[in-house]
Amino acid sequence: MPTLRESIMTAPTDAVASPVRRKPLWHRVLCNWSVRLGGGVLTLLIIMAISAQWLGTIDPVAMDPSSGNLLPGTTAEFNNLSGDSFEHYFVMGTDSLGRDTWSRIAFGARVSLAVGVAVACLALAAGMLVGILAGYFRRLDNIIMRIMDSVMAIPSILFAITLMALWRPTLLTVVVAITIPEIPRVARLVRSIVLSIREEAYVEAAISLGTPTVMILVRHILPNAIAPLLVQGTYVCASAILVEAILSFLGVGLPPDIATWGNIMADGRTQFNQFPQTVLFPGIFLALTVLSVNILGDGLRDTLDPKFNKRGG
């Protein structure tokens, strides 16, 4: 994820065609308040996820039934099932099995962020391939876009749930199940960019000079697609984090013993009336993460790709 900001800085400045030379693009991006706010909160969350083991956490799967359902802010003796015993301060309390909620949230952040980034990368790669095929090779266009329309006709959460019902739940299957329904949106965006760029005079010139198709795609089409794809990528990332949590919450995501925000909420669900904190704390983190990614995306859209909305992405 730290590569996101780096990749914006290294993005070719001619990605946004502007007749007037203004401040360098990366400067404009970093001066945008949405980018600063969203990116700042997201960076904090990433640091939290990476350094989870040093943030006053204990083993997120360690249980101690005798210290179950502690209220937030209690200090208690924690007796590990393997016989260790130590004092621990439970900032956010424990769940019914005596697992430390804060530890589970901190380690769960890794899953959420990893799934978000992985889905965004996979969906962009696959969507780019499909979109270029449809946009550049007109004979494939009709059939490919029909299939994409049909995939979009299946509500995406339902699609992911169905796939997860069929597959063994691992990190890979979760990522793939969330990626597939996202592909058509990226493909449509790429196709529309390809269609508009291939009419440009310089592409026609390149074709008449006998430039190989692959070279045209890499040299002319791809640089024009980077900015809108980056914007679309952040939105895909936000929705992937949401869908992952929903899958876990419904019980079809990663196995329940792995700490993910959705799993923590699913565990706390049965006792919500007495101990709402086990559901509310991960919920707040989830909402905060998705919100910061979306705000970052809005900032990137405004600075990198002002035409985004009109393009129907």
Partner 1 sequence: MFFFIIRRVLSTIPVLVIVAIIVFLMLRLTPGDPAASLVGNNGTSADIANIRASLGLDQPLPVQFYKWSLQLLKGDLGESYYMKRPVTQLIGQRIGPTLSLSFLTMFVTILLAVPLGVFAAWRHGGWLDRALMGFSVVGFSIPSFVIGYLLIWVVALHWQLLPVQGYVPIAQGFGGWLSHLTLPALTLSIIYLALIARVTRASVSEALSEDYIRTARSKGISELRVLTRHALANAAVPIVTVIGIGVGLLIGGVVVTETVYAIPGLGQLTVDAVLGRDFPLIQGITLFFSFVYVLINLLVDLSYVVLDPRIRY
Of 96, 156, 211, 271, the one binding partner 1 (CB under 8 A) is 156
The DSSP secondary structure of 137-159, one letter per residue, reads -HHHHHHHHHHHHHHHHS-HHHH
Among 98, 96, 62, 65, which Cα is nearest to 80's? 62
What's the closest the beta carbon of residue 271 comes to partner 1, in angstroms? Answer: 12
Residue nearer to partner 1 on the CB measure, 40 or 65 = 40
Residues 186-245 that bind partner 1 (CB under 8 A): 238, 242, 245
Of 20, 139, 168, 201, the one binding partner 1 (CB under 8 A) is 168
Give exposure, 96-107, as e/b (b: 16+ Cβ within 10 Å): bebbbbbbbbbb
Residue 77 is given by DSSP the state: E
Beta bridge partners of 86: 78
- The region of 46-54, 200-208, 224-232, 286-294 touching partner 1 under the rule CB under 8 A is 286-294
What's the closest the beta carbon of residue 57 comes to partner 1, in angstroms? Answer: 22
Neighbours of 73 (CB within 10 A): 10
- 245, 287 contact by CB (below 8 A): no
Of 11, 52, 119, 295, the one binding partner 1 (CB under 8 A) is 295
What's the closest the beta carbon of residue 36 comes to partner 1, in angstroms? Answer: 15
- Does 250 engage in binding with partner 1 (CB under 8 A)? yes
Residue nearer to partner 1 on the CB measure, 133 or 151 = 151
- 140, 200 contact by CB (below 8 A): no
Number of residues that bind partner 1 (CB under 8 A): 44
Residues 127-146 that bind partner 1 (CB under 8 A): 146
- The region of 23-31, 47-55, 192-200, 274-282 touching partner 1 under the rule CB under 8 A is 274-282
- Does 105 engage in binding with partner 1 (CB under 8 A)? no
Among 280, 291, 313, which Cα is nearest to 242's? 291
Beta bridge partners of 100: 94
Among 38, 65, 31, which Cα is nearest to 303's? 31
Look-up: residue for tokens 């901190």?
A: 106
Which positions lie near partner 1, rule CB under 8 A? 146-147, 149-151, 153-159, 161-168, 238, 242, 245-246, 249-252, 265, 272-273, 276, 279-280, 283-284, 286-287, 290-291, 294-295, 298, 309
